[in-house]
Amino acid sequence: MLAAPGNWLRSSAASWAERRQGRDALSVTLERRRVYILPSRFGLAYGVTIFAMLLGALNYGSSLGFALTFLLAGLGIVIMRHCHNNLRGTRVRFLAAPPVFAGDPAKFRFALSNDAPAPRYEIVLRHNDTETISQDLPPRQTKTFALVVSTSERGRLPLGRYMITTRFPGNLCRAWSWLHMDASCIVYPRPAPRGRPLPSDIGGEGMHGGHERGDADFIGLATATPGDPPRRIAWKAFARNDKLMVKQFSAGEQQARVLAWDSLPGMDTEQRLSQLSRWCLEAAEQDLAIGLSLPNKLVPVGRGQKHLNECLQALALFEETART
């Protein structure tokens, strides 16, 4: 019964913090005004104990009781001050979130820097019910934190609101700050099961199609260019002259494949995207040049890891423009 009011209170407080702070850049230094602090459950029990000791000292007129009560109260205030300062001045910078396939966990990587001469202890990043491992930040150093977020659907996955928090020292208080960065991760469609063969269509108009040389007869070396497959790099030649070269072959020609949206009739949008994703991966495994023809986008024929990422991203961000 208390869960719903508690969730509503936390959501309202976080929304108020966003309105107060505004959207954050991808690199933020925490100022005093945006670091919040409240007693933890252990801190509340500590406060109740001190209050009970104060009542006992008043009732019995015990000087030693007063001394111990005020000593523990002062200790609590000092701990609260140190807990707040443990976050103040920390710099948080979003690094990257490598693309993943739907169903795989996305990892949002952040760099936390401590520019102060004093260390910071037990720093944690938290997003909903997931959090990073607690780490200490030595003086003048930077450490990397990774927030793991589950995925279920393709598209652009925004991280949304997350927090940086600490309970050091003593676990009496919890200090935190809300962060609202435009951090996101591209989630590719989950590949369909293997079994459906690659289409044999060659590149058409606007696709820059053509023929790709096969791997039958070696004819020489050429200077490597971005996008060349790693398996064709001449590593022995690179070891001799420190110049990156690729092997060239003469016999056999491969037709560039066009993976077309219309080649999958009878499937809904997500099924088509899933199958096209599988074909892209199989073409990359076979080192084939491919192009992608979607209702709202054409990806020219190409090859290599960079081109594969471009095709998968086009599938991930596909928006339906016509009824299937």
Task: Dihedral sign for Cα 143, 108, 135, 88, please.
Answer: positive
Which two three-digit tokens encode residue 168? 């050091």
pLDDT per position as a tens digit, 185-226: 999 999 999 888 888 755 544 454 444 444 445 566 777 766
Above pLDDT 70, what percent of the chain? 83
pLDDT for res 238: 67
Q: Which pLDDT band holds residue 286 (cuts at 50, 70, 90)?
A: confident
Residue 258 scores a pLDDT above 90: no
What is the domain count for the chain?
2
Answer whether residue 22 is part of any domain.
Answer: yes
Is residue 244 over pLDDT 80?
Answer: no
Q: What pLDDT is recorded for position 221? A: 72
Q: In which domain, by residue range, is 289 found?
A: 252-316
174: pLDDT strictly greater than 70: yes
Looking up tokens 């997931």, which residue turns up? 130
Residue 208 domain-assigned? no
pTM: 0.77
Whichever domain contains 307, its CATH number is 3.40.1620
Which two structure tokens, joined as six digits, stand for 231? 């398996």
pLDDT at 260 over 70: yes
Residue 281 within a domain = yes
Q: 26-35, 247-256, 289-298: lowest mean pLDDT where?
A: 247-256
> Does 149 map to a domain?
yes
Place of tokens 């927090």: 163
Inside any domain, residue 226:
no
Q: What is the pLDDT of residues 308-321, one digit of tens each?
A: 999 999 999 997 43
| pLDDT attached to residue 323 | 38
Last-in-domain residue among 151, 171, 187: 187
Amino acid at site 112: L
- Are residues 162 and 43 both part of a single domain? yes
Tell me how many degrees the CA angle 107-111-116 measures, rounded to the nearest 5.
155
Across all residues in the chain, what is the average pLDDT? 84
Backbone torsion region of residue 142, taken as left when φ is above 0, otherwise alpha when ψ lies between -120 and 50, otherwise beta:
beta
User: Of the given ranges (88-92, 124-128, 182-186, 237-241), which has the lowest mean pLDDT?
Assistant: 237-241
Query: Which pLDDT belongs to residue 54?
Result: 94
Residue 255 reports pLDDT greater than 90: no
Instruction: Quote the pLDDT of residue 223.
Output: 75
Least confident segment among 56-65, 213-222, 227-236, 300-309? 213-222
The reported pLDDT for the residue numbered 218 is: 59
Residue 290 placed within a domain = yes
Compute the average pLDDT of residues 10-38: 84
CA separation for the pair 140, 179 (Å, rounded): 22
Check whether residue 258 and residue 155 sit in a common domain. Answer: no
Coil, strand or helix at 122: strand
Task: State the pLDDT at residue 128.
Answer: 87
The CATH code of the domain that includes 101 is: 2.60.40.10
> Which pLDDT score is estimated for 232?
67
Alpha-carbon distance of 23 to 179, in angstroms, equals 8
Lowest mean pLDDT among 32-36, 39-43, 160-164, 245-249: 245-249
Q: Which amino acid is at 170?
A: G
What pLDDT score was predicted for residue 324? 39
Buried-state track 172-200, b at ≥16 Cβ within 10 A, e below 16: bbbbbbbbbbebbbbbbbbbbeeeeeeee
